[in-house]
Structure 1
Amino acid sequence: MSSWRERFEAPAHAASSNSKRAAWLRAAAARVTTPLLPDDYLHLVNPLWSARELRGRIVAVTPETEDSATIVIKPGWGFSFDYHAGQYVGIGVPVDGRWTWRSYSLTSDPDTSRGDKTVAITVKALPEGFLSSHLVNGLAPGTVVRLAAPAGEFVLPEPLPEKLLLVTAGSGITPIMSMLRTMRRRNRRGDVVLVHSAPSEEDVLFRRELQELADDGVVTLKLWLTRDGGRLSPDALERLCPDWARRQAWACGPGGFLDMLTEAYEAAGRGDALHIERFALERGAHGAQGGTVTFGTRDRSIEVDGATTLLEAGEKAGVQMTYGCRMGICQTCVVMLDKGCVRDLRTGVEHVEGERIQTCVSAAAGDCTLDV
């Protein structure tokens, strides 16, 4: 027989929160309003209150470059501000009557967030990224969004290593920015070098603030502009930071950029000193050939190419599957592969029948059937 506490909390069992107190209060709201939905009552008081999910309101959208913006969000009831610099947060936005989810690195520092009860993400609009473009160009202050609790293992190291190297490219600077802001606020000073790659100075996110951080002694800043010098290479890294191989490194950026760094550190016998964050799904990078995807007992099938994820294939076929970040981070979309073979678009690793796979980052490598 279940305990009284289990019975009490059952109506709000699925609510997402890092706060035990908030979860208990949600459970209370759910119990006293059953069989009516607690959200029916809570929303009348405050649209950010919910017994089922975390919510937030857009406070401001501030351009950073021509194609990027910082979005300040005021989370509602139950959101925990006890996150770590470098972590990401999931955000769900209503687009054409449907909630669309992505995960973005927090660029605010935890100390500031706990003080003003807001968090910030910085988003770069990608040509193929419908939601990122909407967030940068179409999101209005006052919009209520859904949130997932902060998560991720790519965080500011405590204590700081004696010699620290931060290596970023493009929007890969975002989790590092949270770390640098936290270091400045906590008056952490050390031997910290930031090597950042961008097409031009105009494309450098947080360019003025990065220079202020350098002037303040928080970090030694080294910019690499690819329109002038081509892609960052091990030789270029050597010129910018001669002792890179003797430093603990935190790196974030596109897949090819991280692959280059991984090979360089492994060749130097220092593979364990490199900590990376991958958050960009590169379509077709490993050449999955596509095929017919069948969705379990529903017997729905669709023909797809090798760049279409299984999650997207299901949506095209009218099969709604569970998902969260849509980037291979949160593990919400995991299902069993009944038949056939699929390929992870991030790594090229193939998975065969009987294995559990992530639909948001896997594509058909021939005909396959999912247990959904």
Structure 2
Amino acid sequence: MGLLKWSKRPAAGVEARAPGVNVLRGLVARATTPLLPDDYLHLINPLWSARELRGKVLDVTKETDDSATVTIRTGWGFPENYKPGQYVGIGLQIDGRWHWRSYSLTSIGSSEQDKTIAVTVKANPDGFLSSHLVDGVSPGTIIRLQSPRGDFHLPEPVPGKILFVTAGSGITPVIAMLRQLRSHGQTPDIVHIHSAPTREDVIFLDEMEQLADEAEKYELNLQLTREMGKFDVSRMDEWAPDWRERECWACGPVALLDAMEAHYEDGGLRERLHIERFTIARTDHGGEGGTVRFAISDKEVEVDGATTLLEAGEDLGIQMPFGCRMGICQTCVVPLAGGYVRDLRTGEERREGERIQTCISAVSGECTLDL
């Protein structure tokens, strides 16, 4: 057992499809010390890495003026199977610095013959990486990946009656679910409410309307907000009179999801609602801002009370652990080595010695992380 651990240790941080893969990676790393196996593997194929998951951008296809689908060839060790609705972490090097974000997969699973995935990204005016993926990334670019994660997916068996409520880029995990159902020949009774400013802003409009024309049990209700007003949860009985009988998956802006949660809680049906948030559900209780020190990296930065510790580290080029970036998956949990931070969702203050989530915590005065 000691020899096995010694063999695997150089590749211990890499998720693999089979445990034996990391034994091979570890032995390669041991044999090439002091050089990493990547120094050699990269010369053969840039997608081969013994210490990280990689991908290569194959194509960028515009969906709307401000959104695009990015198709990626996955490299050595990327899981072949994932659940439509899950998200994947993507790292892109821009001007010498790695930028990371998570995006919902819009593909439905790769095979041994077709090791590709796809994400559909909507450019956010305040989102540096999203804008670059939509308008700046070139085919052939090598990126870093994290394994798919997330609980926002359909169960097995699939419910007989489903309600999808989406808005804007919130359609991305749901389109993957719809594609999965169609590819498997599954035909549950689906009511889909989707909100966007105009028809031109609806991502996958043609695909959803074709599905509505061809599938007897798929009903699409478009709420075009510039002419119809914003989504109003009080109209649920109008769009889906039997919504109380349906399992609901909802994804979109914070205000829509907050309204959905309140509506289902008031009806005593919260367990029927499944939500995917793309941003933190913040309160007004941010941190005070201050100095964040990264002890191992020997870096520090002054940030405001709205900047998360995860964002602060990434802006300095530090490799920060992360997953959902919304305080759900616990991947970013680290001990607070010193100082104080505040939870952006609850306003609760944490202090030295406590374990914190960097994706939802902001500095209060000063803090130190062993990263």
TM-score, normalising length: structure 2: 0.90
Instruction: For residue 114 of structure 1, report the CA deviation from its aligned partner.
Output: 5.4
- Amino acid of the residue matched to residue 109 of structure 1? I
Corresponding position of 2:346: 348
Corresponding position of 2:145: 147
State how far apart, in whole Å, the 2-side matches of 1:17 and 1:3 are.
Answer: 20
- Amino acid of the residue matched to residue 247 of structure 2? Q
Instruction: For residue 40 of structure 1, report the CA deviation from its aligned partner.
Output: 1.4
State how far apart, in whole Å, the 2-side matches of 1:183 and 1:154 are.
Answer: 15
| 1:113/1:174 CA distance change after superposition, 3 Å | farther
Corresponding position of 1:29: 28
| 1:159/1:41 CA distance change after superposition, 3 Å | same
- Amino acid of the residue matched to residue 252 of structure 1? C
Corresponding position of 1:109: 108
Instruction: For residue 369 of structure 1, report the CA deviation from its aligned partner.
Output: 2.3
SS in 1 for 2:147: strand
Instruction: For residue 249 of structure 1, report the CA deviation from its aligned partner.
Output: 0.6
Runs of 5+ consecutive residues of structure 1 not aligned to the other structure? none
| 1:143/1:333 CA distance change after superposition, 3 Å | same
Corresponding position of 1:248: 247
Deviations 1:13-52 (A, max 9, x none): 2223343243233223223323321111111111110111
The list of structure 1 runs, each at least 4 consecutive aligned residues, that deviate by more than 6 angstroms after superposition, is 296-301
CA contact under 8 A between 2:166 and 2:252: conserved in structure 1? yes
Matches within 5 A, 1:125-204: 125-204=123-202
State how far apart, in whole Å, the 2-side matches of 1:114 and 1:286 are.
Answer: 48
- Amino acid of the residue matched to residue 311 of structure 1? L
Matches within 5 A, 1:213-232: 213-217=211-215, 219-232=218-231
Corresponding position of 2:320: 322
Runs of 5+ consecutive residues of structure 2 not aligned to the other structure? none
Identity %: 50
Instruction: For residue 212 of structure 1, report the CA deviation from its aligned partner.
Output: 1.6
- Amino acid of the residue matched to residue 35 of structure 1? P
SS in 2 for 1:116: coil
State how far apart, in whole Å, the 2-side matches of 1:163 and 1:246 are.
Answer: 7
Corresponding position of 2:44: 45
Matched, 1:91 2:75: no
| 1:41/1:321 CA distance change after superposition, 3 Å | closer
CA contact under 8 A between 2:332 and 2:358: conserved in structure 1? yes
State how far apart, in whole Å, the 2-side matches of 1:49 and 1:127 are.
Answer: 34
State how far apart, in whole Å, the 2-side matches of 1:121 and 1:113 are.
Answer: 17
State how far apart, in whole Å, the 2-side matches of 1:296 and 1:57 are.
Answer: 31
- The alignment yields a C-alpha RMSD, in angstroms, of 2.4
Corresponding position of 1:237: 236
CA contact under 8 A between 1:19 and 1:79: conserved in structure 2? no
Deviations 1:59-111 (A, max 9, x none): 1000000000000001011111111111111111111111111111100012x
State how far apart, in whole Å, the 1-side matches of 2:366 and 2:88 are.
Answer: 32
Deviations 1:122-152 (A, max 9, x none): 0000000000000000000011111111111
SS in 1 for 2:10: helix
